[in-house]
Amino acid sequence: MAARSFSSASTTTILLRSGRWRRTMRAAAFPFRVSCSAAAAAAAGGTVVIGLAADSGCGKTTFVRRLTSVLGAGTAAAAAPPWGGNPGSNTLLGDAATVICLDDYHSLDRAGRKERGVTALDPRANDFDLMYRQLKAIKEGRAVAKPIYNHATGLLDPPELITPPKILVVEGLHPMYDERVRGLLDFSIYLDISSDIKFAWKIQRDMAERGHSLESIKASIEARKPDFDAYIDPQKQYADAVIEVLPTRLIAAADDDGDEGKVLRVKLIMKEGVEHFAPAYLFDEGSTISWIPCGRKLSCSYPGIKFSYFPDTYFGHEVSVLEMDGKFDKLDELIYVESHLSNLSTKYYGEVTQQMLKHADFPGSNNGTGLFQTIVGLKIRDLYEQVVAERAASPPALAAVA
Ligand SMILES: Nc1ncnc2c1ncn2[C@@H]1O[C@H](COP(=O)(O)OP(=O)(O)OP(=O)(O)O)[C@@H](O)[C@H]1O
Ligand SMILES: O=C(CO)[C@H](O)[C@H](O)COP(=O)(O)O
């Protein structure tokens, strides 16, 4: 995720890295952002930890913006970076959730990686021991001094204070790579973008927003590919939900103008049997459905829209799959599709459509990427509420504390 800027500060001194050294750091935002309710929720039973894995440029930031909106941050802008800290911080603090970027656990800075000839995707460039220790501490209700990888300078900056939120989202290249870290996740998501589409998205973003040349983008993708295949892609087998983005099947390859990314086929692959997670379904749970909703209630231009729903297996796990191929012409008509979907974990009729309309300007709002990201966001909110309700029903034994 890109670096963000912010202002104002006070200082606090904390113990860092196994007590080896202390550093005074700026942390004015924390009294505001770490609300009593967040601290109390954490103290009452620990933080709920969500993992979001994907390669760079695959939509993690967009997903997080939808998620923080669903979680009640009000607007996406309400999920803000820590105030008063390092402008190179990658962290977002919302009312209900803190989002940290695992790039902060790079153990080698940009020069170090170059010298050693490794990419940031290589586990040798990342400190999984520290990642595990710190995520475990947060989950157990303790604050940590998390390092910062500064994308502007390519350097490892002094750390920032992360206090336990209600929900901690850990996004990045490796949330499910290390078995110990994986074991801390209450729910995990993998964004699986097929290579041609990833290429198209990256070219669009890196040329328009970052001023990179087409050649340098191609070279970077090629250089990362072996490590992506070895270390990033295999994590999808562990994910509770995978959003897979593929080229459309509605247009024959021969008719396709090669403009990848305009019409997408998107699959939401949902693992069965995951605690606190009931997969969404179309019409009839467990059945196999193919549905073309275009007609009187849904406007569709060429090449139309096709939904599918079916059971499948994914890396040996039973899954339910929802698929949408095509794009919406009129987003407000999505209510027609929403009314045929069940187990959405909405709080009121039309909440999915409302979320999609609210963020119509986000990438993917007219296709299955936006729709399925929104549904997964609602499922995460529901999972969190179930965990809280369970904890309230069986509070920790006070006798043991006394
Ligand atoms: N669903 C989508 N449909 C179309 N384009 C998309 C979609 N999601 C993301 N993109 C494109 O990909 C770019 C990268 O998306 P985003 O910033 O969300 O990814 P990221 O994984 O956070 O990237 P990074 O880790 O490099 O910061 C966006 O600027 C946008 O151009
Ligand atoms: O894959 C990445 C995750 O975002 C980055 O390339 C990695 O973090 C290294 O960052 P930079 O390219 O800014 O040195």
Ligand 1: residues whose CB is within 6 Å? 1-2, 54, 56-62, 201, 204-205, 261, 363-364, 369
Q: Which of 1, 61, 265 to mutate to test the pocket of ligand 1 (most atoms within 8 A of CB)?
A: 61
Our CA angle for 282, 287, 290, nearest 5°, is: 60
Contact 264, 197 (CB under 8 A): yes
Q: What is the pLDDT of residue 218?
A: 87
Q: What is the pLDDT of residue 146?
A: 96
Q: What is the pLDDT of residue 130?
A: 98
Q: What is the pLDDT of residue 256?
A: 58
CA gap 78, 94 in Å, rounded: 6
How far does the centroid of ligand 2 lie from the alpha carbon of residue 151, in Å?
7
Q: What is the pLDDT of residues 342-382, one digit of tens each?
A: 999 999 999 999 999 999 999 999 999 999 999 999 999 99
Q: What is the pLDDT of residue 391?
A: 86
- Tell whether ipTM is more than 0.90: yes
Side-chain half-sphere of 95: how many Cα atoms within 13 Å? Answer: 10
Q: What is the pLDDT of residue 6?
A: 26
How far does the centroid of ligand 2 lie from the alpha carbon of residue 173, in Å?
9
How far does the centroid of ligand 2 lie from the alpha carbon of residue 183, in Å?
25
Q: In 3-state terms, what secondary structure has residue 308?
A: strand
Domains and CATH numbers, the chain: 37-189 (3.40.50.300), 239-387 (no CATH)
Q: Give residue for tokens 């994986």.
A: 182
What is the DSSP pairing of strand 187-193 with strand 144-150? unpaired
Residue type for position 221? I
* pLDDT beneath 70: ranges in the chain: 1-45, 73-85, 253-261, 396-402
Q: What is the pLDDT of residue 352?
A: 97
56 lines ligand 2 (CB under 6 A): yes
How far does the centroid of ligand 2 lie from the alpha carbon of residue 51, in Å?
18
Q: What is the pLDDT of residue 37?
A: 40
Atom of ligand 2 nearest to the CA of 103: 8
Task: Copy the structure tokens of residue 139.
Answer: 């989950």
Give the other-Cβ count within 10 Å of 398's Cβ: 7
Q: What is the pLDDT of residue 296?
A: 81
